[in-house]
Chain A
Amino acid sequence: DTEVTQTPKHLVMGMTNKKSLKCEQHMGHRAMYWYKQKAKKPPELMFVYSYEKLSINESVPSRFSPECPNSSLLNLHLHALQPEDSALYLCASSYRDNTEAFFGQGTRLTVV
């Protein structure tokens, strides 16, 4: 299995909703990442987990809450989002935090 799987592929949520994005990999990678990407822009790093511990939080607002239940799973909990949070949310994983990363297909999030 050489894939990073993200669910759902599309999500529309209201500003008062709570939802979660899920990411799964079974490649034995010990680093996992959340990125946010707006149209025509590069991916922006949000969080890095290394060996299931949060190692980097790029000053992301608290309405985004990451969780790493185990070495294969990464969640991103969403609460009270704003319309400007609408974007493609990408999960990635790498063998270690200093090796190349492989991306999932992303969740396209629309906040209404």
Chain B
Amino acid sequence: GQSLEQPSEVTAVEGAIVQINCTYQTSGFYGLSWYQQHDGGAPTFLSYNALDGLEETGRFSSFLSRSDSYGYLLLQELQMKDSASYFCAVRGLSGGSYIPTFGRGTSLIVHP
């Protein structure tokens, strides 16, 4: 099976930098993704790491270390609109199919 761990809640102030960590256990690992979801909305794809290292997309960066089964999402220059839930998701291979599984989500609260 697959399992992911991420903090349930993170708080920060506008303009700050915050890091949301994710550790995972899976068989046949095939990439770690990050999604943002605002209350009442649908998950929005943010980033995907299949190889070790840092991927940067604007204010958001995502990092992966496959040897440590660990990744993180880094949000810089926080804005109030970044308050949302952030999910890490991993794809593992099972029975010839790729099973995408979500972590329990991290609620990010940005204060003025």
Which residues from chain B sit less than 8 Å from chain A, CB to CB?
Answer: 30-31, 33, 35, 41-45, 48, 87, 91, 96-105
User: B59 → chain A, closest Cβ, in Å?
Assistant: 19
**Would you call A98 and B91 a contact (CB within 8 A)?**
yes
Q: Closest residue to B46 on the A side, CB-wise?
A: A100
- Cβ of A104 and Cβ of B42 under 8 Å apart? yes
| 22 contacts across the A-B interface (CB closer than 8 A) | A33-B100, A41-B104, A42-B102, A42-B103, A43-B87, A45-B99, A45-B101, A48-B97, A48-B99, A55-B97, A56-B99, A90-B42, A90-B43, A99-B31, A99-B48, A100-B33, A100-B45, A100-B48, A102-B45, A103-B43, A103-B44, A106-B42
| Closest beta carbon of chain B to A29's beta carbon, Å | 12
Looking at chain B's contact residues, the main secondary structure is: strand
A-side interface size class: 20 to 34
Known: A44-B102, A55-B97, A99-B31. 5 other contacts (CB 8 A): A41-B104, A45-B101, A100-B31, A101-B33, A105-B41
Which A residues are closer than 8 A to B by beta carbons? 33, 40-45, 48, 50, 55-56, 88, 90, 97-106
In angstroms, Cα B94 to Cα A98, docked, is 12
